[in-house]
Structure 1
Amino acid sequence: MTVQLQQRPHVAGVWLLLCYLTGAWSIPDPRHREALIQLEAFMQTGGQMVLTEAEQQLDALLFKMKQEETARAEFPPAVHFFKARDLIRTSPIFKLLQKMPKGGALHVHDFSMVDVDWLVQNVTYRPHCYMCGTDNQSVRFIFSAQTPRPLSHCSPWVLLENLRAKMVNSTDLDDSITHNLTLFTSRDPEVVYPTQDVVWEKFEQAFLAVWGLVTYAPVFRDYFYQGLTQFYVDNVMYLELRALLPEVYELDGSTHSRAWTLKTYQDVTRQFTTNHPDFLGVRVIATIHRGVNASVMAGAVEEAMELKKSFPDFMAGFDLVGREDRGRPLWYFRDALSLPAEKGITLPYFFHAGETDLEGTDVDQNLLDALLLNTSRIGHGFALLHHPVAKDLSRKKGVAVEVCPISNQVLKLVKDLRNHPAAALMSESHPVVISSDDPAMFGASGLSYDFYEAFVGFGGIKSHIGSLKQLAMNSIRYSSLESEQQEKALGLWQRRWQKFVSKWTFSK
């Protein structure tokens, strides 16, 4: 019976259901229990994978690692990431995941790709970098050939080069700048960020602080190249970037158009793929803040259609960003978002939706509206379990949920990642991809930390190497790449995967 179930568990599942409904047994049978267990295992993400002998050996090693991990005094997925990060770094599972080819990162924002230390040490030490302190305890930066004009609600501009020259040791200054560019804290995060309002305020202020640094043209290029490097080193082979496409500025204060910004992303990507031929590339999802009015949104959609026409293979589509709970719901923008369809123009959408715990509100309906507007994927989808119609529809339409575990925990949607809704989604093999959202803001990097939280936290003991394999493949299958490109990418990933499995099992 068990062997038959492993070969064709869907048939065995029907048989079990018929037996139950017709009362074919009344005393629990161990065979039936085993059949149910096998059926559930078959249904989970990666449950239908047929593993090679080498994969089975690695899976046995992973199972042993997981048992040891769950026995730790502090189980990392149950702990806030800021406290768990050092624990994760010592984990053998994490070290394995760092080496694992993870496919693509499909939900990453433009100005939170690179470690904050790189920004402080590499960027703020460049000539002509000015800083001022805001009334709300944040900072702003600008590069300028001369003293910039005063900024409202900010102290007088200070040239960092001069300020550091007066110091014997600039460590405290650098630490202070670092504190303003990230949410990460060595203090108790539950005390520092007691509510969603508090953590989101710091989150948004950190982005505003980073803005003046990364939108300076020379830094803009270097920052993006460094971001690709950090993901590449973490064995990510493809990236889809949510980008606001700012008007990048020069030292004399002149600015470039959004088309220039998009072309610069494209040029840097070409340079990076030339230097790293096994990196598949980048596609950009243009974004706008969801706090704008309907008229501004219509203009943004019109511009996005033009950019898509000019960069058909590089620009993937369009999305709205910003705190969902405080922004306008998708339905408010329905006329603007319907413009491409009305004009017969293809502009794929990749909507953030369901990044909320405000059930029953207008914002909570974003999941349904995203699907009505034909979103290609759902960003976060944290509230999906509360919307069975949306969940069923997203599965039938093949609309994957971009799950960002650490982001959801840091921004206070879930405390213990074992309770994340994605755990339930993965138990029934709902289309899911794992991504890292804003790793630099959270003190993470690349994709391995989020893969760790998903594999160890969501899956528990029952998830296995097939789960990891499926998640990596999902990141290619649910990307915006064309079918032919996906097949090529999967072929390259498969070769890297086989090499990874063979190397790891041989070394053990």
Structure 2
Amino acid sequence: MAGSWGRPLVVCLCMALCCPWGGLSMPDPKHRESLIQMEVSMQTGGQMVLNEKEKQLNSRLVQMKQKVVTRANFPPAMHFFKARDLITESPIFKLLQKVPKGAALHVHDFSMTAVEWLVKNATYRPHLYMCCTDTRSIRFIFCSQIPEPLPHCSAWVLVEKLRAMTINVTELDDSIMKNLTLFTDLDPDVVYPTQDVVWGRFEEAFRALWGLVTFAPVFRDYYYQGLGEFHTDNVMYLELRALLPEIYELDGSTHSMTWTLKTYQEQTRQFTADHPDFFGVRIIFTIQRGVNSTTMAQVVAEAMKLKKDFPDFMAGFDLVGREDQGRPLWYFRNELSLPSDRGLQLPFFFHAGETNLEGSDVDQNLLDALLFNTSRIGHGFALLRHPVAKELSRKRGVALEICPVSNQVLKLVDDLRNHPGAVLMAENHPLVISSDDPAMFGASGLSYDFYQAFVGFGGLRSDLGTLKELAINSIRYSSLPAQQQEKALAFWQKKWDKFIFENTQSVQG
């Protein structure tokens, strides 16, 4: 395995230029070719050695990509909401769905499972009440009797009764669904003209689904269903960012963080028992970055305890929420130093650089994340503006978790060919591709983000070797201990070999 993706030394650029050519004479074609090959070899997957069967499939894959890149309606250059159906119907996407993608290392707890499942399953359960807010959103709660009124919300109505009184139930379900996702059939640039608007709607959608997903029976099923969707998309391992909220029962009683984490663990064990080709899950405990210092100190202390109690299941800690409006990492420098001050290990996986506010306090989160020895960087969109942080992350092997669809939908970039990930992939910077909040974006699993990275970032140069290294990166940069990583890589390699065999046969056929 190591020999196939180990990066050999790249010939120094000065050697390629050691035989200068005159300014008036034609450059030597051999020198030109050597420079082209050097650039290709430096990209993600550029040093990957493909066997004969892989070369056969790669030839077909490159042909498929050439047809996409030359079309007028190039999906990565379009808003994802407009491009989704084009991507779904494309031969490249259908092949990418079959690719063993390894791990999804940046996924959030309550946006991992299809909204359609949530509406068709959770909202059809008994004892569910709904109210409509002053902001034209909705709230849910499961209760054995009519709940207490909620401020700024209409009177609670039993959803079961509401459906019984509704002539067009499909219309009602669609209306509920629109409150739980950002996806729209209208022009997304008109619906979401600014970052403030799209983030406001994004946060409102989470508030709308909260009462559904934090109800204990739904919580268990939602997580299990989400694992199933990633598994179907040929993802074998997840690192899930989870808020670990109080989960409630029908009588209003609630469970602790420990119960929530333990339930995640139990459901994971059940899923892996039911699906032996799934490797597992680890949890990254998260807290909203808008809290105050006192709350952060309490949460970090709780995180240290949970890491001690669940050493193999809890991966570490992170801050979540809109980076531009939350407190910067440096604000919490005392609280985030508590683990090291007490000689305890609490790995960090900080969101950082999910911003285009260059020069602001928030923009320094990338450097601060590295100062706190973050294991990975969530998003890192601003990294190209921070040469020191970029070099440190490369030297330390601190991978970026790049989420193309999320960055576009949340209006950091319009055309994904201009995403910083395109430059980072060209340089083989440590990175992985993930999907952040797929259900919120009308996506699922990991394949849509793989498509945008493979076609949009990579252009015509990226090939099967790129896909292979991205999959391997997802295991190499996971929080799994070294021995577990080797086991996971061997696990993945069997899946990869099977994928190559089956799809080479179909190409030959």
Q: Same fold (TM over 0.5)?
A: yes
Residue pairs, 1:472-483, within 5 angstroms: 472-483=471-482
Residue 277 of structure 2 corresponds to which residue in structure 1? Answer: 278
Residue 444 of structure 2 corresponds to which residue in structure 1? Answer: 445
Q: Which SS does the other structure have where 1:230 is aligned?
A: helix
Shift of 1:248: 0.1
Give, as a single letter, the amino acid of the residue that structure 1 aligns with 2:132: G
Q: Which SS does the other structure have where 1:481 is aligned?
A: coil
Shift of 1:166: 1.4
Give, as a single letter, the amino acid of the residue that structure 1 aligns with 2:474: S
Check whether the contact 1:19–1:25 (CA below 8 A) recurs between aligned residues.
no
Residue 249 of structure 1 corresponds to which residue in structure 2? Answer: 248
How far apart in 2 are the matches of 1:25 and 1:330? 55
**Farther-moved stretch of structure 1 (298-307 vs 63-72):** 63-72
Residues 1:346 and 1:23: Cα distance change in structure 2 (over 3 Å) = farther
How far apart in 1 are the matches of 2:417 and 2:305? 43
Shift of 1:173: 1.2
TM-score, normalised to structure 1, is 0.97
How far apart in 2 are the matches of 1:117 and 1:141? 16
Residue 58 of structure 1 corresponds to which residue in structure 2? Answer: 57
Shift of 1:502: 1.3
Is residue 18 of structure 2 the alignment partner of residue 13 of structure 1?
no
Give, as a single letter, the amino acid of the residue that structure 1 aligns with 2:406: S
Is residue 42 of structure 2 the alignment partner of residue 40 of structure 1?
no
Give, as a single letter, the amino acid of the residue that structure 1 aligns with 2:249: E
Shift of 1:9: 7.3
How far apart in 2 are the matches of 1:462 and 1:27? 26
Residue pairs, 1:405-444, within 5 angstroms: 405-444=404-443
How far apart in 2 are the matches of 1:207 and 1:139? 11
Check whether the contact 1:329–1:363 (CA below 8 A) recurs between aligned residues.
yes
Residue 198 of structure 1 corresponds to which residue in structure 2? Answer: 197
TM-score, normalised to structure 2, is 0.97
Q: Which SS does the other structure have where 2:460 is aligned?
A: helix
How far apart in 2 are the matches of 1:9 and 1:377? 25
Q: 1:221-244 CA distances to partner (integer Å, 9 max, x unpaired)?
A: 000000000000000000000000
**Farther-moved stretch of structure 1 (237-246 vs 53-62):** 53-62
Quote the RMSD (CA, aligned, Å): 1.4
Shift of 1:19: 3.7
Residue 3 of structure 2 corresponds to which residue in structure 1? Answer: none
Residue pairs, 1:171-250, within 5 angstroms: 171-250=170-249
Is residue 143 of structure 2 the alignment partner of residue 144 of structure 1?
yes
Shift of 1:168: 2.7
Residue 307 of structure 2 corresponds to which residue in structure 1? Answer: 308
Residue 159 of structure 1 corresponds to which residue in structure 2? Answer: 158
Check whether the contact 1:9–1:42 (CA below 8 A) recurs between aligned residues.
no
Q: 1:369-420 CA distances to partner (integer Å, 9 max, x unpaired)?
A: 0000000000000000000000000000000000000000000000000100
Q: 1:95-133 CA distances to partner (integer Å, 9 max, x unpaired)?
A: 000001000000000000111010111000100000011
Q: Which SS does the other structure have where 1:355 is aligned?
A: coil
How far apart in 2 are the matches of 1:137 and 1:212? 17
Aligned length: 501
Runs of 4+ in 1 over 4 A off after TM superposition: 22-27
Residues 1:174 and 1:74: Cα distance change in structure 2 (over 3 Å) = same
Check whether the contact 1:77–1:417 (CA below 8 A) recurs between aligned residues.
yes
Give, as a single letter, the amino acid of the residue that structure 1 aligns with 2:312: D
Shift of 1:14: 4.0
Give, as a single letter, the amino acid of the residue that structure 2 aligns with 1:252: D
Matched-pair identity in %: 72
Residue 4 of structure 2 corresponds to which residue in structure 1? Answer: none
**Farther-moved stretch of structure 1 (10-19 vs 287-296):** 10-19
Residue pairs, 1:82-161, within 5 angstroms: 82-161=81-160
How far apart in 2 are the matches of 1:429 and 1:141? 46
Q: 1:160-208 CA distances to partner (integer Å, 9 max, x unpaired)?
A: 0111111232122111100100000000000000000000000000001
Q: Which runs of 5+ in 1 are unaligned?
A: 1-6
Q: Which SS does the other structure have where 1:297 is aligned?
A: helix
Q: 1:344-393 CA distances to partner (integer Å, 9 max, x unpaired)?
A: 00000000000000000000000000000000000000000000000000
How far apart in 1 are the matches of 2:280 and 2:426? 31
Check whether the contact 2:182–2:202 (CA below 8 A) recurs between aligned residues.
yes
Check whether the contact 1:352–1:379 (CA below 8 A) recurs between aligned residues.
yes
How far apart in 1 are the matches of 2:365 and 2:186? 35
Q: Which SS does the other structure have where 2:47 is aligned?
A: coil
Check whether the contact 1:44–1:429 (CA below 8 A) recurs between aligned residues.
yes
Residue 3 of structure 1 corresponds to which residue in structure 2? Answer: none
Residue 355 of structure 1 corresponds to which residue in structure 2? Answer: 354
**Farther-moved stretch of structure 1 (160-169 vs 417-426):** 160-169
Residues 1:40 and 1:421: Cα distance change in structure 2 (over 3 Å) = same
Residues 1:9 and 1:307: Cα distance change in structure 2 (over 3 Å) = closer
How far apart in 2 are the matches of 1:188 and 1:159? 33
How far apart in 1 are the matches of 2:303 and 2:410? 29
Give, as a single letter, the amino acid of the residue that structure 1 aligns with 2:51: T
How far apart in 2 are the matches of 1:291 and 1:19? 58
Check whether the contact 1:436–1:450 (CA below 8 A) recurs between aligned residues.
yes
Q: Which runs of 5+ in 2 are unaligned?
A: 1-6
Residue 4 of structure 1 corresponds to which residue in structure 2? Answer: none
Shift of 1:18: 3.6
